């Protein structure tokens, strides 16, 4: 199974150098998410579940998981740039 990394989804494609400042910025941005968004991102990117698996686990539709994931990634993106 290929795990999708959260930094792959939000990182700047022009600056591919990974460093500890990105990790710190990511941690700070995660604090700004609500509990549901944190849960979805944790299940998706840290545990490696699919959107359908997340949907089944948290009891919402796959479309809602997709929307919440997209919104959470946008919040993070705005907070680390």
Whole-number pLDDT of residue 26: 79
CATH of the domain at 47: 1.10.10.10
Q: What local confidence, expressed as pLDDT, does residue 80 receive?
A: 79
Count of the separate structural domains present in the chain: 1
Q: Is 73 a residue whose pLDDT tops 60?
A: yes
Percent share of the chain, pLDDT over 90: 52
Burial-class residue 1 by CB neighbours within 10 Å (0-12, 13-18, 19+): exposed
Q: What is the pLDDT of residues 36-71, one digit of tens each?
A: 999 999 999 999 999 999 999 999 999 999 999 999
Q: Which domain holds residue 57?
A: 34-81
Q: Residue 15: what pLDDT? A: 53
What pLDDT is recorded for position 8?
A: 67
Cβ neighbors of 78 (< 8 A, separation 6 or more) are none
> Would you say residue 23 lies in a domain?
no
């Amino acid at each position: 199974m290929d795990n999708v990394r959260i930094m792959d989804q939000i990182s700047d494609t022009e600056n591919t150098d990974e460093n500890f400042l990105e990790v710190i910025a990511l941690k700070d941005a995660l604090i700004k998410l609500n509990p549901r968004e944190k849960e979805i991102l944790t299940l998706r990117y840290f545990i490696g579940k699919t959107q359908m698996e997340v949907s089944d686990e948290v009891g919402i539709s796959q479309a809602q998981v997709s929307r919440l994931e997209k919104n959470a990634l946008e919040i993070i993106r705005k907070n680390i740039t």
